[in-house]
Structure 1
Amino acid sequence: MLFEERKSGVLLHPTSLPSVYGIGDFGAEARRFVDTLEEAGQSLWQILPLVPIGYGNSPYQSTSAFAGNILLISPDELVEMGLLTAEDLGEIPAFDKERVDYDAVKAYKLPLLHKAYETFCAKADEDMQADFAAFCEKQDAWLSDFALFTALQAHFRAERAKGIDEEEYLAFAVDTIDFLTEEQQKDYFESACWNTWPRTLRKRNAASLKKWTRLLADAIEEEKFYQYLFFTQWQALKAYANEKGISIMGDTPIFMAYDSADVWANQKLFQLDSMGFPTVVAGVPPDYFCAEGQLWGNPLYDWKAHKKTGYLWWTERIHKALEDVDYLRIDHFRAFESHWEVKFGAENAIVGEWKKGPGMDFFKTIEKTLGKLPLIAEDLGIITDEVRALREEAGFPGMRVLQFAFGNDKNNAYLPHSCDKNSVMYSGTHDNDTTRGWYETATEAEKDHYRRYLNVDGRDVAWDFIRMAFASPAVFAIVPVQDVLNLDGSHRMNRPGIAGGNWGFRFDWSQWEEGYTHGLRYLAELFGRCAERENSDF
């Protein structure tokens, strides 16, 4: 078994932290959260992907597998670094304390980041300049492509906002008339998706790349600087958490967004046509979350091409991720055994077919370079014997979710008595309703089963589930902060299959009662997930 020590923790993405700036960040409130976890006897902080957000503000549809979401950079920390002054922060808008308004946050924070870059260019000392140069050199394998991609997209969006070149657009429209609607054509073109760029750029002609790198040199350098700020602040926060005995459990989506630096820079590793469009895309068939399945739309990997490189891109991706976190959850692990393939252009994911993934060869190859991988397999959904066999051979713990446990099956695999030690037990995940919200909408059979299972009356369902998770045999137990705070379903993070209104949840310290810290520590001590303190209630 990969992990032996029983641990517990809280799932909270940094965007959900309290902040006067409209979105959580890596500043003082993040350290306060770490301090609270330590006081509560927790040793795990699980987060969602730290990458730039994409369609629908989702961190699972990112423009990069390697870069960071610069909206998480703390303005207060920039003041501490001497890159901003208190006056630069200006009049802070009255942001919504319960939801992230991403457009409003960008309108406020992006000019601050630009100001910080101007200050760096004009006044940075030699140590900071050298540190930035070292960062760029170390991360060049992904950073140069990402910075160029981001600068190019910003350039073409700005140019097209002034007025679309009719000849250029007509050429694109003619090429795509057979498989894109007029509305889709305009959307691709106006958003400056990389396959609408000039052909030489789409195909990454060396002379064209050199030309545009020269033309956009200032914008490229600025994007690199933003990434330097992000990872400087994140690594400082991670070090603070580790010093407090808190390990970070990160998350990485298995698939990439189509309009991303990674797909543009590595086209031969994906199943694309001659124009660069996907031939097939990812999704899942109908399941618990969505009756029509989920059509994610991500381009699918050409696993044979990856194998020829010794899975180099994936090795670099996992290596980078494990520099930033201590444990890594692989989202949609089952796709390494087989994935649901849907033709590009399909309206939903109902019609598709299962295709084989790289299997154990993938993990064995990467482990030869990186050593034993501290991974957690997200093995939810339609799981076959073959998927279970792959996870067991790899040795990774799988996931168990209590909200899936109750109904009519007394030996449901998600019930605590059915759970094995090599598992991570959750009350719910970012894709679930809050536990209180689950109970309010559950069937009578589910409610009755839960109440009889614990011999309770259902008045405190969130903390009943926390107790069950901590008491389970699973080596790790994770609970979303919404369950700690006993919040209803209006506070959930994501609704799978629904494009809008997700990823905005925020909490406020006024919601965190003193008893929650005490309760988490009590349960962690009671069920052997942390060391007992002197004068412990247990």
Structure 2
Amino acid sequence: MERSSGILMHISSLPGKYGIGTFGKQAFAFVDFLKNGGQKYWQILPLGQTGYGDSPYQCFSAFAGNPYFIDFELLEKDGLIEKKDYDTLDYGSKEDAVDYSKLFINKNKVLRIAYNNSKGKYNKEIKEFKSKNDLWLKDYALYMAVKKHFNLVSWYNWDDDIRLRENQAIERYEVLLKDEIDYWIFIQYLFFKQWQALKDYANENGIRIIGDIPIYVAEDSADIWSNPKYFNVDKDMKPITVSGCPPDTFSSTGQLWGNPIYDWEALEKEEYNWWIDRVRESLKLYDVVRIDHFRGFEAYWEVPYGDKTAENGKWTKGPGIKLFKVIKEKLGDVKIIAEDLGFMTEEVIKLRDDTGFPGMKILQFAFGGENSEDLPHNYPVNCVAYTGTHDNDTICGWYNSTGGKDEIEKAKKYLNLTYEEGIARGLIRGVWGSTAYLAITTMQDLLGLGKAARMNFPSTLGGNWIWRVREKDINDKLAKEIYDLTKLYNRC
């Protein structure tokens, strides 16, 4: 395996003038930064269209892209909008944070203008796009159009005829909402056109993209509405059980995620085709796929629908190696990283090893016990070593507030940290110098930022997914620093 390294930063965190990171010039500049820094990977979070709560792990579709990432300047270059259409709108007052409420109002205004100006111009391209994405696009566009028709409420609260997908209702809404349906198809065309151009540029410059597949889909999603037979729902399409994590030392009531659970028996009868499609489509977007909550394929914690906590859940066996054998049979040797964090058992470890997928090691977790598997001297070569992830505090936040005194002292001793080097650089050196074939740090840790730059506080709503890097912080000096460290540990 080739020794290499990369940086974890979501598209939303890129700098720029219009409220959120996009597929525009700042994304291309970040690719240049990665190349100049000797990096070979850019890891991002799921690219799906976020809903209430703004989490990229709770999207309206497992296949559709997030319209927020469409770049206005590229649309202007294509003649779809003029600068006056977007330049004076309010997308938020903070350079380093996303204001989703303002973005929701004003980004969508501009995209509507682009759509209206596009009519009659892209007929051939849209027809081809629809044909290539027939698997999911038609259901998604109808879902979004009907959702707008019912003032954005969850599909569970739509009129029964369309909620239950009666044929006459679908035909009626396809006629009634044709323009709105065409709008959502066009928006997805723009998303994939701009993303493909960015990915091509990254690949041409030796940068591979690591993307993320959440194990579950959102309750309010086109996936469940259009394919209820693949989920554990009753005849009224209401979930019977939902996802979560059991109580542990971090939470006495567990974590209640609330995503509907798969009907794995139904999926197996169809040779896991829905999952095969999902992985195949993801591999069009990314060079490597990280599957979130991998342990859920061996056994998952399911909680009765309607419970307020995860305490009354139970462990239920997942598809195990059967799913991954079918993936290999149908898709070949796909590049997958197993997010094997959390409650691990011998069975989960065996499943990961049987697949051959690399697991994850988090250096920030390494200093709380004796001879932790997250200590670099215990790493197998076939793993991806991280300083931390989007769900962790930053290194400096951990050092200053969330890490225990004994942990901090052990980290200092183990890594031989010096005041001049600093805690963040020391932990980056720790994973870069490890035997892991791939080392990743977050952009926040590379910049040595504190708790305020944390991306996500799991099981909380509000204030997450908002961090953005400032343009001035992505510079040649920083690229030279990370290049020198990368060269030193033979990861260039």
Q: Which residue of 1 aligns with 2:466?
A: 504
Instruction: Choose from 97, 100, 107 the match for 1:99.
Output: 97
1:464 counterpart SS class: helix
Instruction: Choose from 446, 458, 476 the match for 2:438.
Output: 476
Q: Which residue of 2 aligns with 1:200?
A: 161
Q: Deviations over 1:328-364 (max 9, x none)?
A: 0000000000000111111111231110000010011
1:498 counterpart SS class: coil
Q: Which residue of 1 aligns with 2:413?
A: 452
Give the counterpart letter for 1:21 in structure 2.
Y
What TM-score results when the alignment is normalised by the length of structure 1? 0.89
Asked whether the 8 Å contact 1:249–1:326 carries over to 2, the reply is: yes
CA distance in structure 2 between the partners assigned to 1:425 and 1:273 by the alignment: 42
Q: Deviations over 1:269-311 (max 9, x none)?
A: 1111222211110011134654432100000000000001111
1:366-405 counterparts in 2 under 5 A?
366-405=327-366
1:298 counterpart SS class: strand
Instruction: Choose from 5, 11, 14 the match for 1:8.
Output: 5
Q: Which residue of 1 aligns with 2:266?
A: 305
Q: Deviations over 1:241-277 (max 9, x none)?
A: 0011000000010001111000001111111122221
2:119 counterpart SS class: helix
Give the counterpart letter for 1:69 in structure 2.
N
1:277 and 2:238 aligned: yes
1:29 and 2:26 aligned: yes
1:56 counterpart SS class: coil
1:412-451 counterparts in 2 under 5 A?
412-441=372-401, 442-451=403-412
Give the counterpart letter for 1:101 in structure 2.
D
Identity between Structure 1 and Structure 2 (%) = 45
Q: Deviations over 1:340-394 (max 9, x none)?
A: 0111111111231110000010011122111112100000000101000000000
Q: Which residue of 1 aligns with 2:74?
A: 77
CA distance in structure 2 between the partners assigned to 1:240 and 1:413 by the alignment: 37
1:519 and 2:486 aligned: no
1:286 and 2:259 aligned: no
Which runs of 5 or more structure 1 residues have no equivalent in the other structure?
158-190, 531-538
Asked whether the 8 Å contact 2:126–2:189 carries over to 1, the reply is: yes
Asked whether the 8 Å contact 2:33–2:475 carries over to 1, the reply is: no
Asked whether the 8 Å contact 1:408–1:445 carries over to 2, the reply is: no
CA distance in structure 2 between the partners assigned to 1:36 and 1:44 by the alignment: 12
Asked whether the 8 Å contact 1:337–1:386 carries over to 2, the reply is: yes
2:459 counterpart SS class: coil
Q: Cα–Cα, structure 1 residues 478 and 97, in superposed 2: closer, same or farther, change >3 Å?
A: same
Q: Where do 4+ consecutive residues of structure 1 move more than 6 Å? A: none
2:316 counterpart SS class: strand
CA distance in structure 2 between the partners assigned to 1:401 and 1:280 by the alignment: 31
Instruction: Choose from 300, 315, 319 the match for 2:276.
Output: 315
Asked whether the 8 Å contact 2:214–2:292 carries over to 1, the reply is: yes
Asked whether the 8 Å contact 2:60–2:220 carries over to 1, the reply is: yes
1:51 and 2:57 aligned: no
Q: Which residue of 1 aligns with 2:429?
A: 467
Q: Deviations over 1:159-180 (max 9, x none)?
A: xxxxxxxxxxxxxxxxxxxxxx
1:331 and 2:292 aligned: yes
Q: Cα–Cα, structure 1 residues 80 and 287, in superposed 2: closer, same or farther, change >3 Å?
A: farther
CA distance in structure 2 between the partners assigned to 1:512 and 1:462 by the alignment: 17
What TM-score results when the alignment is normalised by the length of structure 2? 0.97
Asked whether the 8 Å contact 1:451–1:458 carries over to 2, the reply is: no
Which runs of 5 or more structure 2 residues have no equivalent in the other structure?
none
Q: Deviations over 1:45-100 (max 9, x none)?
A: 00000000123100101110000000100000101111112232241436311110
Give the counterpart letter for 1:5 in structure 2.
E
Asked whether the 8 Å contact 1:195–1:275 carries over to 2, the reply is: no
Instruction: Choose from 126, 130, 133 the match for 1:136.
Output: 130
Q: Cα–Cα, structure 1 residues 287 and 378, in superposed 2: closer, same or farther, change >3 Å?
A: farther
CA distance in structure 2 between the partners assigned to 1:54 and 1:500 by the alignment: 12
Q: Which residue of 1 aligns with 2:146?
A: 152
| Bigger radius of gyration among the two | 1
The total of aligned residue pairs comes to 489
2:188 counterpart SS class: helix
CA distance in structure 1 between the partners assigned to 2:185 and 2:392 by the alignment: 35
